[in-house]
């Protein structure tokens, strides 16, 4: 067992890496390395960031029940009052363009702290200033701040479980569920608050007090991004007199332009040029967008057409929550069962379907249940059908949205490897834009064609999109072979693997006095070692998101 001094370890690899520098690394049992933290600390970190994300998205839907108050207070129409919801969700798509580059350069903890402070500050005007323009502007700014725990928090499981794929997958599922359940609980509480608020917008003030309450948790959050931890250690060592101490991320630091390219330019390029990214974005955007469509449609269906008391309308979202929880619980079994299914006309007998496309079969049950749930809800929305039927229709929808997100995001991850975060950023932007637009569309659809046909439109759209996963199961491998970004990602991965092996060889040599490195070996290592901290982080983010995929990946890796 190493001492505290041993954990602050530097290596001077005989000029094999960079002659002037001592390389700061983690030792195998380093207590500052997040993967070596205790189980209790890892669980606390996961609960911390999951609750932060939950509170952030809670505020998106808790606003919707208060739209009637806003119309009465400020004399605006439905579209204007709904804009407070749409701008908030739009911020989820814009925020990663800011927080992604900053977290790569300065670490996650600092960005979480800054985003929490800004989140608290931006909620104050929308909660306490009596002006509709102020409310709308600051709702957008709050949404941008919320994007930090949503986007950067998704990488925390990879930080704390980099070598334990089963635990990483389980932690990713917990975080994703928290981010999806937030809007459900926000709506449930929002209707109770709005029913007894009078002229005070407690639907917004409630989020303010929740955000203030989680401040101590955010402050106590430890840094989990390995390169940033090593940079802090190197700075500490330099203050102690080891002026040549450097973390690899300092030696090979990216320029601001390179960082922005990875978080902005590359995602845009993938969305324009990559059919796999486009297909995944279509399904995830529709599934996620319908959730926010429901925040406008449910009051019409259950209050106006079924006569449910206003304050109880939020309880009708419980069905969606049940579906979400069941999806997370049963996804490993669904994945295992779906992999054994042979699809005639799509798969070829005697030819093994690649693991990436085979895992995508898990989405088939969800893309089939999505139109079923939408048609069920649409044609139960009228007063002639008992209201519980429409409420129960939310269960298969809740199941479908989780499975669709898990399956398609996992497919992007396995396809693009170290570029997976770029693909997911593109996906996040598209789904946020669609989710921002659909609540406003809900008013026009309900007024012009009614809830039955208005909701059925999305049923027909989802029905027409069922072939998308089948198309990728059949032709996905060919698309991956021709994909510019997938091929580039594979080359980067191979280079990184060689670099890690070279660096490991250097470290082993420096720790064993009996071994010497010949001049030719030095030159070879020097030519190979060029580790990029951000690319290493992307590898961690690219791990499978499901429990069963993680176990299989672990088996393949072993």
Domain boundaries, the chain: 8-33+225-253+486-557, 261-482
Furthest CA-CA distance within the chain: 86
Residue 171 to residues 47, 174, 325, 330, Cα–Cα distance (Å) = 9, 5, 14, 15
Top CATH class, 261-482: mainly alpha
Is the alpha carbon torsion for 343, 346, 350, 353 positive or negative? negative
Mean local confidence (pLDDT), 411-437 = 89
Residues 6 or more apart in contact with residue 421 via CB below 8 angstroms: 100, 155, 262, 263, 538, 541, 542
Mean pLDDT check: name the lowest of 6-15, 16-25, 30-39, 432-441. Answer: 6-15
Provide the 3-class DSSP secondary structure of residue 347.
strand
Q: Which residue has the higher pLDDT, 502 or 151?
A: 151
Report d(CA 193, CA 482) in Å as an integer: 53
pLDDT bucket at 358, cuts 50 / 70 / 90: confident
Report d(CA 325, CA 402) in Å as an integer: 9
pLDDT bucket at 260, cuts 50 / 70 / 90: confident
Which of 64, 44, 298, 369 is closest to 204 using CA atoms? 64
Query: With a threshold of 0.75, does the pTM exceed it?
Result: yes
Contact (CB, 8 A) for 294 and 320: yes
pLDDT at 173: 86
| Tally of CA atoms within 13 A in the half-sphere of 99 that contains its CB | 31
Report d(CA 150, CA 179) in Å as an integer: 7
Q: Provide the 10 A C-beta neighbour count for residue 429.
A: 23
Q: Encode pLDDT of 165-212 as tens digits.
A: 778 888 888 999 999 999 999 999 999 999 988 888 899 999 999 999
| Residues 450, 184, 115, 168, Cα dihedral to 10° | -120
Report d(CA 91, CA 271) in Å as an integer: 19
Mean pLDDT check: name the lowest of 44-58, 60-74, 340-354, 493-507. Answer: 493-507
Alpha carbon 350 to its chain's center:
37
| Residues 131, 90, 210, 49, Cα dihedral to 10° | -160
């Amino acid at each position: 067992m190493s001492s505290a001094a041993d954990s602050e370890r530097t290596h001077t690899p005989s000029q094999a890496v960079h002659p002037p520098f001592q390389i700061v690394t983690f030792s195998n049992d380093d207590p500052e390395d997040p993967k070596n933290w205790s189980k209790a600390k890892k669980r606390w970190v996961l609960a911390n960031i999951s609750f932060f994300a939950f509170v952030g998205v809670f505020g998106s839907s808790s606003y919707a029940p208060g739209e009637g108050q806003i119309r009465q207070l400020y004399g605006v129409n439905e579209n204007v009052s709904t804009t407070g919801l749409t701008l908030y969700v739009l911020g989820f798509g814009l925020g990663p363009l800011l927080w992604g580059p900053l977290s790569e350069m300065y670490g996650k903890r600092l960005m979480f702290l800054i985003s929490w402070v800004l989140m608290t500050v931006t909620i104050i005007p929308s909660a306490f200033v009596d002006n509709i323009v102020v409310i709308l502007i600051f709702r957008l700014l709050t949404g941008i701040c919320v994007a930090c725990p949503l986007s950067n928090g998704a990488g925390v499981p990879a930080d704390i479980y980099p070598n334990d794929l089963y635990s990483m997958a389980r932690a990713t599922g917990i975080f994703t569920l928290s981010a999806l359940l937030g809007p459900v609980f926000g709506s449930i509480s929002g209707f109770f608050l709005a029913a007894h608020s009078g002229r005070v917008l407690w639907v917004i003030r409630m989020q303010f007090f929740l955000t203030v309450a989680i401040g101590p948790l955010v402050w106590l959050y430890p840094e989990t991004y390995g390169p940033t931890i090593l940079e802090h250690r190197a700075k500490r060592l330099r203050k102690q007199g080891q002026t040549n101490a450097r973390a690899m991320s300092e030696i090979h630091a990216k320029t601001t332009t390179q960082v922005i390219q990875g978080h902005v330019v590359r995602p845009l390029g993938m969305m324009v040029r990559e059919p796999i990214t486009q297909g995944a974005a279509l399904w995830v955007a529709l599934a996620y967008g319908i959730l926010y469509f429901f925040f406008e449609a449910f009051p019409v269906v259950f209050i106006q057409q079924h006569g449910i008391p206003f304050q109880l309308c939020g309880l009708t979202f419980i069905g969606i929550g049940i579906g979400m929880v069941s999806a997370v619980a049963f996804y490993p079994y669904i994945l295992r069962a779906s992999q054994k299914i042979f699809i005639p006309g799509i798969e070829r007998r005697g030819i093994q379907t690649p693991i990436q496309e085979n895992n995508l079969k898990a989405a088939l049950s969800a893309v089939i249940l999505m139109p079923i749930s939408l048609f069920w809800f649409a044609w139960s929305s009228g007063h002639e059908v008992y209201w519980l039927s429409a409420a129960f229709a939310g269960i298969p929808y809740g199941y479908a949205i989780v499975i669709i997100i898990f399956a398609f995001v996992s497919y992007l991850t396995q396809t693009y490897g170290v570029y997976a975060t770029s693909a997911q950023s593109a996906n996040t932007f598209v789904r946020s834009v669609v989710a921002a637009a659909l609540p406003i569309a809900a008013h026009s659809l309900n007024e012009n064609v009614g809830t039955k046909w208005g909701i059925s439109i999305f049923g027909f759209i989802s029905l027409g999109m069922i072939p998308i996963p089948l198309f990728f199961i059949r032709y996905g491998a060919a698309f991956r072979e021709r994909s510019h970004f997938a091929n580039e990602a594979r080359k980067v991965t191979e280079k990184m693997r060689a670099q890690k092996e070279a660096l490991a060889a250097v470290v082993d040599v420096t720790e064993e006095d009996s071994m010497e490195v010949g001049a030719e070996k030095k030159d070879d290592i020097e030519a190979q070692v060029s580790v990029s901290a951000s690319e290493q982080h992307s590898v961690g983010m690219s791990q499978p998101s499901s429990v069963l995929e993680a176990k299989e990946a672990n088996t393949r890796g072993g």
